[in-house]
Amino acid sequence: MTINGDEGEPGTFKDRYYLERNPHQMFEGALIGAWAVEAERIYLYMRDEYPAVLHILAREIAALEKAGIIKKGDIELRRGAGATFAVKSRR
């Protein structure tokens, strides 16, 4: 499962606002969603311009691993530079 926290819309900071203040809510929803669709891993994509959010999320992922809620590697934090995911289709 992929979570896109890139905030590609001009002038928006809603994702950063919530992730800085309540990352547990996002992780809870992500874990429930991953369980529901039987996803083996969660990829969390965040833009590199948000170092504080990246630090918070890495810390929270480590805490989930330490508590035994997830295994190491179940949630993978991916850093980007503002680019969105792109998939090339073959026709």
Let me know if residue 76 belongs to a domain.
yes
Let me know if residue 89 belongs to a domain.
no
Let me know if residue 85 belongs to a domain.
no
Binned at pLDDT 50, 70 and 90, residue 28 comes out as: very high
Let me know if residue 14 belongs to a domain.
yes
Alpha-carbon gap, residue 22 to 56, rounded angstroms: 10
Domain count along the chain: 1
Alpha-carbon gap, residue 42 to 1, rounded angstroms: 5
Give percent of the chain above pLDDT 90: 57
pTM to 2 decimal places: 0.79
69-78 pLDDT tens trace: 999 999 999 9
- CATH code for position 45: 3.40.50.11540
Give me the domain span that covers residue 35. Answer: 2-80
30 CB neighbour count, 10 Å cutoff: 17
Q: What pLDDT score does 82 carry?
A: 53
